[in-house]
């Protein structure tokens, strides 16, 4: 389900610190024509790579497919998504 202009899906990924992980992940989004609103990547104190990527108006099926593909990257240890509803006032109308 998509609530146009009202949702943001956040992908949170913990992976081994590797030069190719972020590029592989971004390629999965690009192939599907999905643009990121924000992207954050940093190295953690224990040497892992923490990546967060936000997309607006991503339908549930597309988000689930992308999550499955991300989890298939060898260096990825954990990955999850959460969809936030941004504007409740439009939903009540």
Specify if 33 maps to a domain.
yes
Give the count of domains, the chain. Answer: 1
Confidence of residue 17 (pLDDT cuts 50, 70, 90): very high
Calculate the alpha carbon distances from 4 to 8, 49, 53, 59, 91 in Å: 10, 31, 18, 9, 11
Q: Provide the pLDDT for residue 57.
A: 86
Q: What is the pLDDT of residues 73-82, one digit of tens each?
A: 999 999 999 9
Q: Is residue 38 part of a domain?
A: yes
Q: Is residue 73 domain-resident?
A: yes
> Could you write out the three-class secondary structure of 62-92?
HHHHHHHHHHCCCCEEEEEEEEEECCHHHHH
Beta-ladder partners of 9: 55, 83
CATH number, residue 24: 3.30.70.260
3-class secondary-structure state, position 50: strand
What is the C-alpha separation between 24 and 46, in angstroms, rounded?
Answer: 22
Give this prediction's pTM: 0.84
Range of the domain at 60: 7-88
Does some domain include residue 70?
yes
Is a pLDDT exceeding 60 seen at residue 90?
no
Q: Which two tokens stand for residue 87?
A: 């504007």
């Amino acid at each position: 389900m998509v609530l146009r202009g009202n949702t943001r899906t956040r992908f949170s990924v913990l992976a081994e610190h590797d030069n190719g992980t972020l590029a592989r992940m971004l390629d999965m989004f690009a192939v599907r024509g999905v643009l990121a609103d924000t992207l954050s990547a940093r190295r953690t104190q224990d040497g892992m790579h923490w990546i967060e990527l936000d997309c607006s108006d991503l339908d549930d099926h597309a988000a689930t497919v992308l999550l499955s593909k991300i989890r298939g990257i060898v260096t990825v240890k954990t990955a999850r998504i959460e969809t936030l509803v941004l504007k409740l006032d439009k939903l009540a109308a």
